[in-house]
Amino acid sequence: MKIEQCSFRYEGKFSLLNGESIEGFELVYETYGELNAEKNNAVLVCHAFSGSHHAAGVDPTTDKPGWWHEFIGPGKAIDTDKYFVVSPNNLGSCYGSTGPLTVNNVTGKPYGSSFPALDVYDWVASQDLLRENLGVKAWEMVLGGSLGGMQALEWSISFSGKIKKAGIIAATALVSSQNIALNQVAREIIRKDIAFENGDYLLANKKPKDGLKVARMLGHITYLSETNFKNRFGRKLQDAENKIDENIDFEVENYLRYQGEKFSEYFDANSYILLTKVMDTFNPAARFNNNIVEALKNCIAKLLILSFDDDWLFPTQYSKELHLAAIKAGVHSSFIELSGQHGHDSFLFTSDDYTSAISNFLNHA
Amino acid sequence: MHKNIEREILNLISSGAKVLDLGSGDGALLAKLAEKNIEGHGVEIDSKRLIVSLSKGVSVTQKDIDRGLSEFNNLGFDFVVMANSIQCLRRPHEALNNIFEIANECAVTIPNFGFWKIRLKLLKGVMPVSKSLPAKWYETKNIHLCTIKDFEELCFEKKITIKKKFYFNENYMPLNSVLISRANLFAAEAVYHLEKQ
């Protein structure tokens, strides 16, 4: 599989949905497979909240496989012998695309907490500029899970003519107040970290690692299911030699602490706050009197809406409601609930049903 | 679904219709409708079959028909198909009511439990296994089997007009004119074109 690590620089003024703007931006992205001569085999893969553009293949420097490695490749659900897959890192994130870590040319300092609030629409608009730059008339398919699925939905509504199919997986048209509440706790934990310095920790040469760590621990609980925790950890006690510290009794505690610790090393706190806000405020129907059916009347793409039965963060009901709105709007839409083993995170793991659903839809819809 | 039954159903559907297929299985009928440029949508409970449907390019909803169908009301469907499904439902009579909230016309197919070979099996004291009813009693999804007489009585009670009916023998050939009057004994399958009075 041909893998390329690329960067797209947009020099013009980029207006955001909230009226603000940024002076140009950079999107880092990876591509898998090759764009054909007709440029009609391009598939856009959108990452979830804390994901990156490294979706497939094995990163040569870190040795890490991409987050959808099992789905993208020769002979896989998204077959790179046939399709050219593009995976960008979103604006506001911290893996190389323009975001809070980027130096603001006007002030000469990193944006930090002053990075403007973003909407999923802005991500999609920036991805659309990348599409144009690649010379792709329309994506054969745009897909992703969770916040990635929300981007696929935004594409279907706001840039419908530029995509043929969308895969909206473990996603929703509107997050619930429970989702917002959980994100709010995470944001508060980060803000209360003494090293956060009101978001200006970069200038103070600090990093609010403790806040990030606990926020991630909370997030991680919501990404899995009760059954998953039960099967993996049960009430097993942590063995002494691998204990992170003496306060730990159970294996699940050690696991969460380890996950949080690891995450706090590489993720940026301002990005965390910014991206959770993007999730909370996502409302593609806002420009259509909050009527999702009206919004979807713009959609000429075919939709595949998938949910997982053990996802309690974005439960099946959200996907069903979105699908029914699509049907009401006259959209060619299919909805299937799949059996999951990893709660909300099930969208990251292959199963025969899951991969067949994606490849059948991609190849035949 | 056998080709001959599929053909009769397709003949009932006019070219401009929008069709809801209840119990759409692997999407074969929907694919045929699409070939004829007829807009269709499928409802099916089984995810494996739904996934196969996706390979036919058709659109489907995962749903248990017994849980109601009101979300499909007023969506402009002209015709509902319920082929080889009604006997699997917990509340088939309610499904019939629901169908006519969705569209004015429908096609329903049933395996006829009054077919003479089935009666013979029962006379011998065993549950029937036949082409139309291939599963053993402990494996069957069919929980509400009926005879042609039963079904036509239900339509009468519910004031549902049987516009057309087609009876098939066990080889899916139309019953000859001599046997039609004794369809409840000689038909293995029946296809109904129903309309609300």
| Same domain, yes or no: A312 and A354 | yes
Q: pLDDT band for position A330 (50/70/90)?
A: very high
Q: Are A149 and A286 contained in the same domain?
A: yes
Cβ–Cβ below 8 Å for A356 and B61:
no
**Residue A11: band (very low, low, confident or very high) from pLDDT cuts 50, 70, 90:** very high
Considering only alpha carbons, which residue of chain A is nearest residue B18?
A330
Among A231, A255, A276, the domain boundary falls at: A276
Task: Kindly state whether residues A166 and A313 are assigned to the same domain.
Answer: yes
> How many domains are contained in chain A?
2
Q: Do B54 and A302 touch (CB under 8 A)?
A: no
**Residue A62's pLDDT is what?**
86
- A161 — phi, psi (to 5°)? -70, -15
**A235, A252, A276: which is the final residue of a domain?**
A276
Q: Which residues of B touch A338 (CB under 8 A)?
A: 47
pLDDT at B132: 81
Closest by CA position to A272, among listed A342, A195, A184, A206: A184
- Contact flag A336-B48 (C-beta cutoff 8 Å): no
Q: Do B71 and A332 touch (CB under 8 A)?
A: no
pLDDT value at position A108?
93
- Percent residues over pLDDT 70 in chain A: 100
Task: Measure A335 CA to nearest chain B CA, in Å.
Answer: 5
Q: What is the pLDDT of residue A338?
A: 98
Least CB–CB distance from B47: residue in A333, A337, A365:
A337
Q: Judge if A267 and A341 occupy the same domain.
A: no
Report whether A97 contacts A25 (CB < 8 A).
yes
Residue of A nearest to B55 (CA): A360
* Spatial separation of the C-alpha atoms in residues B42 and B51, rounded to whole Å: 12
Contact A302 B59 (CB under 8 A): yes
Tell me if A336 and B57 make a contact (CB, 8 A cut-off). Answer: no
Q: Look at residue A280 in the predicted model and tell me its pLDDT.
A: 98
Q: Which two tokens stand for residue A3?
A: 């893998």
Q: Are residues A128 and A269 in the same domain?
A: no
Check which CATH number belongs to the domain holding A317 and give it. 3.40.50.1820
pTM above 0.80, yes or no: yes
Q: Given pLDDT bands bounded at 50, 70 and 90, which one contains residue A242?
A: confident
> A227 with A343, same domain?
no
Spell out which residues of chain B touch residue A332, defining contact as CB-CB under 8 Å: 59
> Across the interface, do B41 and A304 touch by the CB < 8 Å criterion?
no
What pLDDT shows up at residue B130?
Answer: 85
Q: What is the mean pLDDT of residues A51-59?
A: 95
* pLDDT mean across residues, chain B: 95
* Domain edges within chain B: 3-113+141-196
A296: pLDDT strictly greater than 90: yes
Q: Compute the average pLDDT of residues A97-101.
A: 98
Same domain, A170 and A185: no
Examine the domain organization and report whether A219 and A355 are in the same domain: no
pLDDT tens digits, one per residue of A15-31:
999 999 999 999 999 99
Quote the tokens at residue A97.
């695309």
CA distance B53 to chain A (A): 8
- CATH number of the domain that A211 lies in? 1.10.1740.110
Nearest to B55 among A328, A337, A364 (CB): A364
Tell me the per-residue pLDDT of A277-294, one tens digit each, with 9 for 90 and over: 999 999 999 999 999 999
List of chain B residues with pLDDT < 70? none
Q: Is the domain of A149 the same as that of A20?
A: yes
Cβ contact, residue pair A364, B57, below 8 Å = yes
Residues A126 and A252 in one domain: no
Helix, strand or coil for residue A4? strand
- The whole-number average pLDDT for the span A300-308 is 98
Q: Are A164 and A186 members of one domain?
A: no
Which residues of A are designated catalytic?
Answer: 146, 311, 344
Tell me yes or no: is domain B3-113+141-196 CATH 3.40.50.150: yes
Write down the pLDDT at residue A59: 87
Mean pLDDT of A309-332: 97
User: A244-269: per-residue pLDDT in tens?
Assistant: 888 899 999 999 999 999 999 999 99
Candidates B41, B47, B54; nearest CB to A361: B54
Q: What is the pLDDT of residues A59-76, one digit of tens each?
A: 888 899 999 999 999 999
Which of A334, A337, A360 shows the shortest C-beta gap to B59?
Answer: A334
**Minimum CA–CA partner of B71 in chain A:** A324
**What rounded mean pLDDT belongs to chain A?**
97
DSSP state letters, A11-36? EEEEE-TTS-EEEEEEEEEEEES---
Q: What is the pLDDT of residue A91?
A: 98
Chain B residues whose C-beta sits inside 8 Å of any chain A C-beta = 41, 47-48, 50-57, 59-62, 71-72, 75
d(CA A340, CA B180): 51
Q: Cβ neighbours of residue A129 under 8 Å, at least 6 residues apart?
A: A8, A10
Give the closest of B55, B62, B72 to A336, CB-based.
B62
Confidence check: pLDDT of A83 > 90: yes
Name every chain B residue with its beta carbon within 8 A of the beta carbon of A328. Answer: 75
Which of A279, A284, A44 shows the shortest CA–CA distance to A144?
A44
Q: Are residues A22 and A121 in the same domain?
A: yes
Residues of B in contact with A317 (CB under 8 A): none
Range of the domain at A251: 179-276
Q: What is the dihedral of CA A2, A156, A158, A69, to 10 degrees?
A: -30
pLDDT band at A106 (very low <50, low <70, confident <90, very high): confident
